[in-house]
Structure 1
Amino acid sequence: MALHESVLEEFGLAPLWVRRGMSAAQEPVGEAGGEQGADALANQKAHRDDPRVAAREASSAALAQDGRDDAQIAMQTGEARQADSAQIQGERLAPSAQEQQRRVQAPVEARQPSQPPRTPEPPAFDGPPDDDFAWFDDQPAHAPAEARREAPEPSSIQTLDWDALSEQVAACERCRLCEKRTNTVFGVGDRNADWMLIGEAPGENEDRLGEPFVGQAGKLLDNMLRSLMLARDSNVYIANVIKCRPPGNRNPEPDEVARCEPYLQRQVALVKPKLIVALGRFAAQSLLRTEASISSLRGRVHEYEGVPVIVTYHPAYLLRSLPDKAKAWADLCLARDTWLAAGGVPSNAAK
């Protein structure tokens, strides 16, 4: 609906041509009014003596005046309604000042990243000893790059002699176990032995002394070797898959085994044993790369790095399960037969 000209003028929106058109339209109206006025005067002069004509003219003038008044009132009422309608439509289309401010501020607030609340630093406290629990078992606790030495490549490890290999293990930082160890446990025994015994990882006593299989489990192992006329300093070399103690005596992780295995491979290459005895489930599974149970691995001859492997129970397990000592003795007898078949020399003529 078009707005009335007076409304447009009220808002200052009336174009000039409208105003000129209105002026032009008023001129004929004025002239016509003048002619009608002259005619009316002539008629009034001609019939001034007739009272009926005078009465009709007076009545017509009154009706015309009333009609003009009614038209003016209707026009004013229509203009007021149009103005109200335009105001209401403008309020609907134009957002309020508060709404515009919210629309402007919303993208700004969206662009500003929310900062997490600062958590207070925990108070310093003395942690429990390593034997109670491993505080980094569930998450990797890698040392900073600047504090960790460059890990040697496995190919370079395979060229080291005994002294260089021992020094490399003592300074090793290839995995997270270096952070909690007391000593590395390299190995002990005859470096030219026919028998090589491989366990899982150092325990608390081994970590403190830096030697494998000490304490009660070590004494039982010495007794087992003595029954075969062997000893750890004569024709036997003892080592572990892992050279550092896992906190809490937990099982080593696969990545820890992978990083430490090159050292064991080099030890086997330097010793050149005729037989390997895997002590315990973890050592057997690591050497043979299997998930099979120790009961299914016993009683058979396996192979690691070209060397025959016999699987038996760990001495620490035998201390808790005395009936399985007979099974362990059967495993040692199989190991002795395998060693003799590989060219082993009886202990009374041992080198």
Structure 2
Amino acid sequence: MTNTVKQKLLYNLHSLKSMGYDYHKTIDLLPNDIKNIKLPDNIFTLKSNVENCYLCELSKSRKNVLFGTGSLHANVMFISDEPSNSEDELGSFYTGKTGELLSKMIENVLNIKKEEVYITNLVKCKSSNSLNKLHVDSCNDYLQKQIELIKPKLIVSLGENTYSYLFNEKDNFSQNRGKELVFNNIKLVPTFSANYLLRNPSSKKDAYYDMLRIKNILELST
């Protein structure tokens, strides 16, 4: 059975479950450890798999799959929650006002080109309504494999949603924002998302200091 066939089968099972059907709890077609083992160790093959993914209903509403972009040898990986409307529309990262602001945060504060970092999302497809745990769970193994293959020295999580899903915490973003944490044995700093900063410009000063801390961590690790 090919990976594409498996993905379509899982998508159909998710659809049935959303309509009220259920199956025995012990049935686990692809346990986490098995899924991780079977994912390819080549970033381009992984990208192809993700672009042909049908694990959740977002595959029906997406216009484009936003897998990731940037240097495959990046020291820092930025993780957002999901593609923006303009990214989904154009199939490209750093689009729209949020993309422009994130570019400035990287290039003007970190003093590195945006092409030198790697950016991806928890979820590779834009949600039609709101992001939920099923979407994140469906993409989680893809994200973990990306981290494994890129091997960043530092991860920057963008926004409260991203932090909450990565750490399975709902209420600690404000306390931990800007602090050096550890995720999967990799240093991680949570900060505001560009989308939040556009809606709350008074927080840009705090985000600036977060980026300075990120810059300092990167300089010390190289």
Q: Same fold (TM over 0.5)?
A: yes
Question: What's the counterpart of residue 161 of structure 2?
Answer: 282
Question: What's the counterpart of residue 18 of structure 2?
Answer: 140
Which runs of structure 2 are paired with 1:51-90 in the superposition (5 Å)? none
Match of 2:181 among 289, 299, 302: 302
- Aligned partners of 1:141, 1:218: CA distance in 2, in Å? 37
- Aligned partners of 2:38, 2:82: CA distance in 1, in Å? 20
Q: Which SS does the other structure have where 2:18 is aligned?
A: coil
Question: What's the counterpart of residue 220 of structure 1?
Answer: 101
Check whether the contact 1:299–1:331 (CA below 8 A) recurs between aligned residues: yes
* Paired amino acid for 1:163: F
Residue 158 of structure 1: how far off its partner (Å): 4.0
* 4+ long deviations beyond 6 Å: none
Question: What's the counterpart of residue 233 of structure 1?
Answer: 115
Residue 299 of structure 1: how far off its partner (Å): 3.0
- Aligned partners of 1:167, 1:299: CA distance in 2, in Å? 34
Distance verdict in 2 for CA 1:187–1:171, change over 3 Å: same
Residue 157 of structure 1: how far off its partner (Å): 4.4
- Aligned partners of 2:156, 2:88: CA distance in 1, in Å? 22
Question: What's the counterpart of residue 88 of structure 1?
Answer: none
Scaled by the length of structure 2, what TM-score is found? Answer: 0.81
Question: What's the counterpart of residue 115 of structure 1?
Answer: none
Which runs of structure 2 are paired with 1:250-261 in the superposition (5 Å)? 250=130, 252-261=131-140
- Aligned partners of 1:289, 1:271: CA distance in 2, in Å? 23
Distance verdict in 2 for CA 1:313–1:157, change over 3 Å: farther
Larger Rg over CA atoms: 1
Higher RCO, 1 or 2 (CA under 8 Å, sep at least 6)? Answer: 2
Q: Which SS does the other structure have where 1:247 is aligned?
A: coil
- Give ranges in structure 2 of 5+ residues lacking alignment: 1-16, 21-28
- Give ranges in structure 1 of 5+ residues lacking alignment: 1-138, 143-149, 345-351
Identity %: 30
Question: What's the counterpart of residue 161 of structure 1?
Answer: 42
Question: What's the counterpart of residue 210 of structure 1?
Answer: 91
Deviations 1:128-180 (CA, angstroms, capped at 9, x unpaired):
xxxxxxxxxxx9369xxxxxxx9895234444311110110000011111111
Which runs of structure 2 are paired with 1:31-46 in the superposition (5 Å)? none
Residue 269 of structure 1: how far off its partner (Å): 0.8
* Residue correspondences, number: 195
Matched, 1:317 2:196: yes
Q: Which SS does the other structure have where 1:338 is aligned?
A: helix
Check whether the contact 2:81–2:121 (CA below 8 A) recurs between aligned residues: yes
Scaled by the length of structure 1, what TM-score is found? Answer: 0.53
Q: Which SS does the other structure have where 1:233 is aligned?
A: helix
Residue 261 of structure 1: how far off its partner (Å): 0.7
Residue 294 of structure 1: how far off its partner (Å): 2.3
Match of 1:340 among 216, 219, 222: 219
Distance verdict in 2 for CA 1:232–1:176, change over 3 Å: same
Residue 232 of structure 1: how far off its partner (Å): 1.9
Deviations 1:239-268 (CA, angstroms, capped at 9, x unpaired):
0000011003x1x21122111111011111
Q: Which SS does the other structure have where 2:115 is aligned?
A: coil
Q: Which SS does the other structure have where 1:308 is aligned?
A: strand
- Aligned partners of 2:172, 2:154: CA distance in 1, in Å? 21
- Aligned partners of 1:326, 1:190: CA distance in 2, in Å? 28
* Paired amino acid for 1:183: N
- Aligned partners of 2:164, 2:111: CA distance in 1, in Å? 28
Q: CA RMSD in A?
A: 2.0
Deviations 1:294-348 (CA, angstroms, capped at 9, x unpaired):
211213211122110001101011111111000001111111222233x22xxxx
Question: What's the counterpart of residue 270 of structure 1?
Answer: 149
Deviations 1:26-49 (CA, angstroms, capped at 9, x unpaired):
xxxxxxxxxxxxxxxxxxxxxxxx
Which runs of structure 2 are paired with 1:113-192 in the superposition (5 Å)? 140=18, 153-192=34-73
Q: Which SS does the other structure have where 2:145 is aligned?
A: helix
Distance verdict in 2 for CA 1:157–1:326, change over 3 Å: farther
